[in-house]
Amino acid sequence: MLFLHPYLLLGLTGIAIPVIIHLFNRRNAREIKWGAMRFLMDSLMSRRRSLLLEEMLLLAARCLIVGCAVLAMARPFVPAGSSFPWWLVLPLGLLGIVFFGMSFALGRYRRWQVLAWLACLLCLGLSAAAILLEKHLSLGRFTGGAARDVALVIDGSSSMTLEVNGESNFNRALKEAARLVEEAPRGVAFSVIVAGAVPDPLVPAPVTDRKYVQAALEQAIPVHGVLRAPDALAAAAASLAQGNQATKQIILIGDGQSVGWQTDDLESWRFLDEAFAHLPAKPRIFVRVLVLPQGIRNLTLKDVAFSRPVVGTDRDVRIDVTLANTGREAVTPARVVLRAGDSEKVDRSVGQMEPDSERVVSFMHRFDTPGAQVVEAQVVAEDELASDDIMRRVIQVMRTLKVLVVDDGRAVRLFDRAGGYVALGLMPSTKELLRDESKRGTAPERARFLMEPELTAVSGLGLKRTLTGYAVAVLADVPSLPAEQAAQLADFVRRGGSLLLIHGARADPAFFNNWQSEGEPVAPLALGACVTVPATNAQAAVRIAPDTFRHPALALFRESGDLADAVIECYRQALESNEVAGVVGRLQNGNAFLAERALGRGRVAQLFVPLDRTAGNLVVRHSFLPLIQELTAYLAQPVVATLNIPPSRGAVVQLSSPALTHLSGNGLYAEYFRKNDPKKILLTRVDPTLDFSWGTHAPAEGLPADHFSVRWSGSFVPRQSGTYTFTVRADDRINLKIGAYKVSTASFDQQQELRGTFTAGERYPLTALLTEDQGEAGVWVDMEGPGFPRARLPGDWLIPVRGAVDSWAEAVDTQVRAPGGRTLYAKIRSGEEGLALRTDSPLMQGLYEVAVPTAAAGWLGHLASTNDTFPICVTENPAESRLDALTPDEQAIILRQADITVARSFDDLRSALRGKTFGRELWRIPAFVLFVLLLLEAFLTRWICIQRKTGEEVGGAEHAPQKS
């Protein structure tokens, strides 16, 4: 308990006044010589006890009256977080005063008087000690001195936009903050942060300019999302770190919604301690809780999900919209609307929804154009929180998914090849499949199929310089691979591609069981022997057991389909060890059917039944086609861009997997353009090395044969240290720069040399600019180095990225339009990590449009096929729609995490700002006791008066003489 006017407590000396008066009376007693002593003595004797009591009561009452009056005027109050309970300290003090008064009535009884004095000292001493200690403890919390840095954190979560008593809590919070700023004493610097999914610093560093802060407050808009209190407080701490004052305070005005305080995730609160460590002193946190609306009507969109991870333009996809009633009343939605592209579908099937119930509404949609597209779901209903009625998701609709199917190439006819059925399953049109690859161009049939299989033999695989562009590679009963191709495939998987191994009779266990990549086995399980079961033996027939399927790709076949009817005539045994237990499906005899493991960024799946005619009648089941499609789609998942991200302060968005990115792997990044129009890039691609003889033809389709230029950029990474000599010739001329060395040729027949010293493993930026005027065109660069005879510049010593692996220095700048119209700055880079976008601005929920920069146009074709922007969606958190207030347990948890004081009213906040302590005022209690005592004293005196009156009758008729 503390006092607002402690100096008034000096008035407590006034409790001595009744005592002094009492003693004074005694000292100034009249001396009367009296005759009728016996009557006095008798009267006194009979009333001795009650006399003593009366006197004690009166004295105590009078002292207490003075004491209560003084206490009430000194304005006692309970500071927040008081250590000593006031209901002990205050009565103890009053008791001390009572003992004080009573002791002076006990004049005749020395022993009791001394006891009373001791009791008085004890009580007063204890309460004084408690008050002083409290003051000492409290002073640590509320330092004086007006100059301080204050971070105003306004809760901008979605719940704050609800209206309570005609005004939204957010506006209310803004008004209170503005008032605080206006009424703050001089020297207080304010920073303002709107908290939400991501803290939005309106005024990032504390400023003392009131007008500025107030103007910022006026323009504040809710951030939406969940409050995320620890993040907001950390952001406040960061803003305070930029202030100049030593005293720091954080004032958070919110609505006490439970979900924002993250009481179930205490790790984020730990992080807060680290943030505070950067400040000179731990800031005091004051939380003002506005009224949280209860009993609202609200429907929320909880989720929008696609039935398939890989979606193309070939067929419908089912979009499931989950509706939830997070309010307290039953609501009937009018309709659920799904918008995708230009189409809008309406569903009116949902009836009344009870509180806490969920409903799923499914829509079938077929995307027409590839690229990143926005799917928007909306529930139209009469509910109070509108911000959660719309949910958007961005999906990358694949134009095509290139799948490489490799088999041993022995057979000629499609249906005889091990990979024939696989390829057919992926693109079920023989005509299309057999059409020459180069002619596949823009045939209308192409649009029907998402997957674009390329069937080749092992030798054909060897001819491929790069596997960039394929999402999945399938080895269909391949016996083995040459080491180089094996390494290439493993690297492909590590970069994000996926591998499907199908084992049949031809597979060579020795190869597959020893196939390693960076110390890890590539195949999930080791191969055993091949088991052949002739078809005639019906009883020993081997079948697939769909009930053992535990895999997303096989989910479809657990309950339905005819996979179980297939009779397997040939399968491979799997040697299972306990470590790699990636079996996700089995045959009826217990042998593994499908196994999977992750490798780097990609996955490796293993089928132990060959998907060709040798396996039995599996390939003619109806379920075969869906099986192969599901498997491939599942495996292709890593290449799909993640365009839905949670709110964050800055993010790196993966726009494409390295497997599909042009600029991973080896080679040089090439840009082709007309000689006199360098701004307009006609073509970008990765060229393997600087070795071209185009003759009089154009380098590629769509490019002119003459008057063009090519710019190559990348890095040269030598494998040996030493001195290298590069011999350069170009038609018509070239400038070449490697590291710090450069050379140029002036005419088509000139040959120049570039000599330099290089260290192995280091990246030396390489740029070359070729200019072609007329006639023939070409470029030839040879390299000679220590231990390397002169030969064409090896392509695998070149990488198309100039900077370091993680560097964003080479990234292309772009702009992002945020919801609300703000423009953010971002970079896009393509490198060994794939295609990524990075921004350091805070990303709040909503739809963002990324502008495609011209320099990166070639990279983003899969996202922005027709427009020059593509969308990214920052997702909402449906938990925000739950308007549960903090429970007392959660409050206790929060109070333990940080030094938080709850301000009950605006005035408390204001006092906190002034460094004054605040708390519940108690002056009413001594005032009430005072009132009671005044009544008591009056009653006592009146009672005595009454007693006196009854005795007056005696004296009246005394001098009438009596007759005998």
Partner 1 sequence: MRFLPPETLAKLGRCELSARGVVEGFISGRHKSPFKGFSVEFAEHRQYTPGDDLRNLDWRVLARKDRYFIKQYIDETNMRVTLLLDASGSMAYAGDEAAPRDGRPLSKLAYAQYIAAMLGYLLVNQQDAAGLVTFDTALRTYLPARARASQVRSILETLDQTEPGGETALAKIFHDIAERIPRRGMVVILSDLYDDPAALIQALHHFRYRRHEVLLFHIVAEEELTFPFESYTKFQDLECADNRLPIDPRTIRATYLTRMRAFLDEIEAACGRLKIDYVRMNTRVPYDQALAEYLSLRN
Distance CA 903, CA 284 (A): 12
Tokens at residue 784, please? 């000679």
Backbone angles phi, psi at 276, to 5 degrees: -70, -25
3-state class of 855 per DSSP? helix
Q: Decide if 376 contacts 391 (C-beta within 8 A).
A: yes
> Cα–Cα distances in Å, from 712 out to 687, 691, 771, 801?
8, 12, 12, 10
Nearer to partner 1, 108 or 680 (CB): 108
Distance CA 462, CA 499 (A): 16
Residues 224 to 263: which contact partner 1 by CB under 8 A? none
For 762-813, the DSSP string reads --EEEEEEEEE-SS-EEEEEEEEETTEEEEEPPGGGEES--S-TT--TTPEE
Altogether, the residues listed in the chain come to a count of 964
Nearest distance from C-beta of residue 25 to partner 1, angstroms: 5
Nearer to partner 1, 487 or 936 (CB): 936
Nearest distance from C-beta of residue 914 to partner 1, angstroms: 52
| Sequence-distant (≥ 6) Cβ neighbours of residue 393 within 8 angstroms | 304, 306, 374, 375, 377, 644, 873, 875
Nearer to partner 1, 49 or 136 (CB): 49
Nearest distance from C-beta of residue 103 to partner 1, angstroms: 18
Nearest distance from C-beta of residue 944 to partner 1, angstroms: 6
Residue in 929, 938, 919, 936 with CA at minimum distance from that of residue 69: 929
Nearer to partner 1, 32 or 529 (CB): 32
Q: Which range in 80-88, 309-317, 864-872, 955-963 contacts partner 1 by CB under 8 A? A: 955-963
Nearer to partner 1, 47 or 550 (CB): 47
Q: How many Cβ atoms sit within 10 Å of the Cβ of residue 275?
A: 19
Q: Which range in 487-495, 758-766, 813-821, 951-959 contacts partner 1 by CB under 8 A? A: 951-959
Nearer to partner 1, 441 or 956 (CB): 956
Nearer to partner 1, 38 or 211 (CB): 38
Give residue 329's identity as a one-letter amino acid code: E
Binding to partner 1 by CB under 8 A, coded x per residue (else -) over 1-40, reads ------------------------xx-xxxxxxxxxxxxx
Nearer to partner 1, 40 or 760 (CB): 40
Nearest distance from C-beta of residue 950 to partner 1, angstroms: 6
Provide the CB-side half-sphere exposure for 810 (13 A, CA).
20
Tokens at residue 770, please? 């070729």
Q: Are strands 390-398 and 311-312 parallel, antiparallel or unpaired?
A: parallel
Helix (H) / strand (E) element for 683: namely: strand 677-687
Q: How many Cβ atoms sit within 10 Å of the Cβ of residue 797?
A: 17
Helix (H) / strand (E) element for 122: namely: helix 110-141
When asked if residue 942 is in the footprint of partner 1 (CB under 8 A), the reply is: no
Nearest distance from C-beta of residue 84 to partner 1, angstroms: 41
Tokens at residue 84, please? 């000593």
> Cα–Cα distances in Å, from 595 out to 526, 574, 582, 632?
11, 10, 5, 14
Nearest distance from C-beta of residue 919 to partner 1, angstroms: 45
Nearest distance from C-beta of residue 933 to partner 1, angstroms: 20
When asked if residue 577 is in the footprint of partner 1 (CB under 8 A), the reply is: no
Nearer to partner 1, 109 or 928 (CB): 109
- Exactly one of 144, 534, 888, 951 binds partner 1 (CB under 8 A); which one? 951
Q: Which range in 493-501, 531-539, 807-815, 954-962 contacts partner 1 by CB under 8 A? A: 954-962
Give residue 926's identity as a one-letter amino acid code: P
Nearer to partner 1, 444 or 956 (CB): 956
Distance CA 501, CA 479 (A): 11
Nearest distance from C-beta of residue 5 to partner 1, angstroms: 37
Nearest distance from C-beta of residue 99 to partner 1, angstroms: 22
Nearest distance from C-beta of residue 24 to partner 1, angstroms: 9
Nearer to partner 1, 63 or 457 (CB): 63
When asked if residue 962 is in the footprint of partner 1 (CB under 8 A), the reply is: yes
Nearer to partner 1, 443 or 944 (CB): 944
Helix (H) / strand (E) element for 78: namely: strand 76-79
Q: How many Cβ atoms sit within 10 Å of the Cβ of residue 538?
A: 7
Q: Which range in 408-416, 791-799, 925-933, 956-964 contacts partner 1 by CB under 8 A? A: 956-964
When asked if residue 952 is in the footprint of partner 1 (CB under 8 A), the reply is: yes
Q: Decide if 114 contacts 953 (C-beta within 8 A).
A: no
Nearest distance from C-beta of residue 21 to partner 1, angstroms: 11
Q: Which range in 342-350, 650-658, 676-684, 944-952 contacts partner 1 by CB under 8 A? A: 944-952
- Exactly one of 165, 442, 676, 950 binds partner 1 (CB under 8 A); which one? 950
When asked if residue 955 is in the footprint of partner 1 (CB under 8 A), the reply is: yes
Q: How many Cβ atoms sit within 10 Å of the Cβ of residue 259?
A: 22
Give residue 850's identity as a one-letter amino acid code: V
Q: How many Cβ atoms sit within 10 Å of the Cβ of residue 108?
A: 9
Nearer to partner 1, 29 or 529 (CB): 29
Distance CA 240, CA 149 (A): 6
∠ Cα 597 598 599 (to 5°):
120
Nearest distance from C-beta of residue 106 to partner 1, angstroms: 15
Nearer to partner 1, 866 or 950 (CB): 950
Distance CA 477, CA 502 (A): 5
Residue 189 region, left (φ>0) first, then alpha (ψ -120 to 50), else beta? Answer: beta
Q: Which range in 314-322, 324-332, 822-830, 943-951 contacts partner 1 by CB under 8 A? A: 943-951
Residues 153 to 172: which contact partner 1 by CB under 8 A? none
Q: Decide if 245 contacts 148 (C-beta within 8 A).
A: yes
Tokens at residue 158, please? 């979605």
Q: Decide if 656 contacts 786 (C-beta within 8 A).
A: no
- Exactly one of 49, 136, 413, 948 binds partner 1 (CB under 8 A); which one? 948
Nearest distance from C-beta of residue 45 to partner 1, angstroms: 9
Nearer to partner 1, 42 or 416 (CB): 42
Distance CA 505, CA 527 (A): 11
Nearer to partner 1, 35 or 144 (CB): 35
Nearest distance from C-beta of residue 28 to partner 1, angstroms: 8
In which residue are the tokens 């079938």 written?
A: 364
When asked if residue 441 is in the footprint of partner 1 (CB under 8 A), the reply is: no
Residues 37 to 96: which contact partner 1 by CB under 8 A? 37-44, 46-47, 51, 54-55
Under rule CB under 8 A, how many of the chain's residues touch partner 1? Answer: 40
- Exactly one of 111, 186, 211, 959 binds partner 1 (CB under 8 A); which one? 959
Nearer to partner 1, 139 or 944 (CB): 944
Q: Decide if 454 contacts 442 (C-beta within 8 A).
A: no
**What single DSSP character describes residue 225?**
S
Nearer to partner 1, 701 or 958 (CB): 958
Nearest distance from C-beta of residue 23 to partner 1, angstroms: 10
Nearest distance from C-beta of residue 938 to partner 1, angstroms: 16
Tokens at residue 150, please? 């204050």
Nearest distance from C-beta of residue 895 to partner 1, angstroms: 57
Q: Report the interface residues with partner 1, using CB under 8 A.
A: 25-26, 28-44, 46-47, 51, 54-55, 944, 947-948, 950-955, 958-964
